[in-house]
Structures are given as C-alpha cells and as structure tokens.
Amino acid sequence: MAVVSVMAFDFVVVVRTPHEPSFRESVTWTLFYVAAATVFGLSMLWWRTPVQDGAGEFFAGYLTEWSLSVDNLFVFLVILSRFAVPGLYRQRVLLFGVILALVLRGVFIAAGAAALGAFTWVFYLFGAFLLWTAISVAREGGADHGAVAYRENALMRAVRRFVPATDGYRGAAVVVRDGGRIAMTPLLLVMIAIGSTDVLFALDSIPAIFGLTQDAYLVFTANAFALMGLRQLFFVVEGLLKRLKYLSYGLAAVLGFIAVKLVLEALHANTLPFINQGHGVGWAPTIPTWMSLVVIVAAIGGSALVSVAVTPSNTGRQERPSPRS
C-alpha cells in the first residue's frame, strides 16, 4: 500500500503536468524519496511483529538496490538520448518505465523467494553467481560509462514487429489513431525499453538483496523505494554520471561481500549430502545485519567520493540524435 501510494502521489503531483525539472526541484524530490524510505524503514520498529532485524534488513537492501541500480542511470541516459525524448516528457517516461520495471522485478522476486523457500541449496548458486559478477565488475572498473551501448532486447523487437508505430512524437500521447489505425508513439517505445532493460540489469541485484534478507516483502519494497528515488536522482546527477569512474570497484566489493554471506548462510542451512553429510555447518560464522550496512555504506560511499575527487568535472550534455520509431 505504501509503494502504491508513493507512485500515485508521484504521478499526480510530480509528472501530471509535463515539464523539464530544474536542478533544485530534482534535489528536493530526491531528498523526499530518501526521507520516505527512511520513514518507512523506521516505521517497521513500531508495526512489524516480531521486530527482528526488519528495519536493518530493509535499509541494507535499500542501499544495495540503490547502489547496484546506479548503472541503470547510465543506461537510462543512453536510451533517452537514443530516442531523443523531449525534456518535457522525460519524467513521465521514467515513471512509467520504473512501474513496468517493478512489475517485472516482482515476478523475479516471487520466483526467487519460492526457490529459496523450497531449496536451500539455491543459496550456493546465488553466491557463486554474485562472486562471478563481482569479479566481472571489478575487471571493468574504471571503464567509461559514457560508452555504454543500448541494444534492443527481444521484447522491444517483438513490440516493433507486431505493433504499428508513428514516425515521431505526438505530444504526451503514447497511443494515437494514425491513418485509420491505432499506433503507438516513440514515447511508449521508450517506456517499454527502460522497463524491460532494467530487468536485465537487475539479474545481479535481486540475488544480492536475497543475501541480505529472505523476506519477499522487504525485497520488493526496497526495490520500489530505490527505483522511485533513482528516477528523481537521474536529473540530479545526469551531468555527474561520467565522473563515477571508480564506482564499479565499490559495487564489486559489495557483491563479493554478499556472495560470501550467502555461502555462509547456505552452509548453516546445508542439506547437500556431500557437504558435512547433509547437515548444517556449525562453525561457519554469521554476518549480522549491522555489519552488512557498514560494508555497503563504506564501499559505495568510498568509491563514489574517490571518483568525484579524482575525475575532472565535465558537465557537457550529449547531443541527442533524431528519434526512431
């Protein structure tokens, strides 16, 4: 209910009237969503029964999803430039793209929660996958994010093939009647592109957050608040994105840490017969939630600060190519 309320509020108050947000407005709304996530997390100390580590797990998951989704901002920038989305409609495009992304992520989260509930050995797979991802991200550390390329996925190709499209934008409309037939506009195409592409980039973040909490509700709400906040953050850091040169190293550290945490939890709940004769490994240490929070904040915050400190400022905007239908 909280997530739906935030989305409804966002649509009615923020993007109902198409406009290009100022830097001050974007900062204000970014802080608003951070505050909303903070209030939601702290509120669990009051209404969640039993309390357990609910609030701590939410904040750890929220920070992880936010940091791992920063790469999505680079992709969003490429997609918006690729489709030459007018500045007036960028907020609306990102909002509906995020809503689609949340729906698709919800399917992944439900599947992940069911798999973990039925098979504890899935932790080993998640851990191995995250470790491999961490190594891959570290190897790409320092790469020029501005060189990120966008390639249309299968969903986008199917939409283009079966649904007629207009040659250009028709204001804020996503579907219009063109030549006697119903056709979609590039505005709908770019919404689908953002939502579907986000899911591909979430293949590492979903297993990562399950390494911090196995509560599907906390996983989904952390994803929702992170994505909604990132939508506004896009307009704040659009000119700063290319300066986050060393962020990959911080992300790699977080993924590697969570991979180890997942494997340790898998050892505790072990049922594989070839490991300790199918029994849990009692000597495996348990990593508390507070330690996860410290590692995440230190790795992401440290790499971001180093990036900004050593990378020269370049606030120039990319030229926007002509739209494609």
Residue 315: strand, helix, or coil: coil
pLDDT at 167 over 50: yes
How far apart, in whole angstroms, are the C-alpha atoms of residue 205 and residue 212? 11
Chain-wide mean pLDDT for the chain?
A: 78
Q: Does 15 or 190 have the greater pLDDT score?
A: 190
Q: Does 239 or 177 have the greater pLDDT score?
A: 177
Return all residues near 41 (Cβ < 8 A) that are at least 6 apart: 55, 58, 59, 62
Which pLDDT value is given to residue 320? 45
Which pLDDT value is given to residue 158? 85
Query: Among the listed ranges 38-42, 104-108, 266-270, 305-309, which one has the minimum average pLDDT value?
Result: 266-270
Query: Among the listed ranges 76-80, 101-105, 128-132, 302-306, which one has the minimum average pLDDT value?
Result: 76-80
pLDDT at 182 over 80: yes
Please, which residues bridge with residue 184 across strands?
A: 165, 175
Mean pLDDT of 99-111: 85
Which pLDDT value is given to residue 322? 44
Handedness of CA 147, 153, 155, 156 (dihedral sign): positive
How far apart, in whole angstroms, are the C-alpha atoms of residue 133 and residue 248? 11
Which pLDDT value is given to residue 314? 53
Query: Among the listed ranges 84-93, 164-173, 199-208, 282-291, which one has the minimum average pLDDT value?
Result: 199-208
How far apart, in whole angstroms, are the C-alpha atoms of residue 6 and residue 224? 10
The secondary structure of 239-295 as a DSSP string is TTGGG-TTHHHHHHHHHHHHHHHHHHHHHHT---TTSGGGS--TTS----HHHHHHH
Which pLDDT value is given to residue 207? 82
Predicted TM-score of the model (pTM) = 0.72
Residue 317: strand, helix, or coil: coil
Quick: pLDDT tens for 192-245. 888 887 777 667 678 888 888 888 888 898 988 888 887 777 777 665 666 677
Residues in the chain: 325
What is the band of 146 on the pLDDT scale with cuts at 50, 70, 90? Answer: very low
Mean pLDDT of 120-140: 82
pLDDT at 52 over 60: no
